[in-house]
Amino acid sequence: MMETVGRVEPLARSWYNMEPLRQAFIDLMGQAEGERRFRLFTDMIAASSPRSDFPTNVRAASYYYGRALRGEPIPDRPPSPYGHMAQKHHVRLARDVAGGGFDLMTNPKPPSFAENLRGNQLPATIDAHAIRYPAMLSRDPVFLETRYQATRGAPVERPQEMFRSGQVTLEQALERPAWWVNQPRVANEYAPLERWYQDMAARMGMTPAQFQAGAWVGGARTTGLGSPADVSALEMLDARLGRTARLRGESRADVLRRLIREGVPLLSVSPLALATALEAAKEDRNDGAPVAPSLTHVLTVPA
């Protein structure tokens, strides 16, 4: 784990830095209201994160943020393109946020993720990849799923039983990331695993969130991570802003203003379009302003 994180340490240390976005909320809405809206937006990112890649996650979060900002109910079926295969979970969590907040005791992952995005890097977000990567590195078949079904109606597979009966080898199982455990038990696994991440982070002089991000992006090929593994959260958000701006014929700054002030959601972006948007973000901006690696000039927009 430490070797993996060491290979991606610069990205790991910056992955959760959303401070330019927080400042944009404050610049537009003032300190108190800006902080409130930034908290709502990051909570909605966390609410729509289960089983989602981050670019899709941000798109859905922008929709739920707008609904909650305007005091509108969260629908059972979000309109396209804001639905998701795990939308039942997203809707339930978004309603929790709109109704007062997450239930930390029954599901600690979303609130930890939101705290990390807001700059509190002491919690470690123990998501599917945070448990799956050390599980796969351990090569211990106890971490194989006892039951796996790729999609509703697909054949049911029992990876642990298949390994023990000799139907598959450990090497074959390691080629199937989805066969490995993807959720810690809240009652007796989440807290110990979080403490383990915190201890590993301390040994490398990093925050727990930074170490978790390093394992997340560094172990991406092993665990089957769907999000781009070479860019930060803010860069993926920036690509989404750029894609939305091009589709609407607006400037990036106007897209961000409308998101923050009115809750106008961001638009879809395919994997190919995302790669194009990420590349475009390095070269230019709609308003012709010079590129800033921190994205501050895009995200810190005038009131």
pLDDT at residue number 67 = 97
Rg, Å, the chain Cα set: 20
Query: What is the rounded distance in angstroms from the CA atom of residue 193 to the CA atom of residue 202?
Result: 14
pLDDT at residue number 42 = 98
Mark out the alpha helices in the chain (DSSP H runs).
2-7, 9-14, 19-29, 31-47, 54-69, 87-98, 109-118, 128-138, 159-164, 170-174, 190-203, 208-218, 220-223, 233-248, 252-262, 271-283, 296-299
Query: What is the rounded distance in angstroms from the CA atom of residue 193 to the CA atom of residue 109?
Result: 12
pLDDT at residue number 291 = 32
pLDDT at residue number 273 = 52
Residue extents of the structural domains in the chain:
17-120+231-299
pLDDT at residue number 303 = 35
C-beta of residue 130 within 8 angstroms of C-beta of residue 214: no
Q: Which residue has the tokens 């937006």?
A: 41
Answer whether 0.75 is exceeded by the pTM. yes
Consecutive 10-residue averages of pLDDT for the chain (303 residues): 96 95 92 97 97 93 97 95 92 95 89 97 95 97 95 93 97 97 92 96 98 96 90 91 90 91 82 54 44 43 36
Taking each helix axis as running N to C, give the angle between helix 87-98 and helix 31-47, from 0 to 180 degrees, rounded to the nearest 10: 150
pLDDT at residue number 151 = 86
pLDDT at residue number 280 = 57
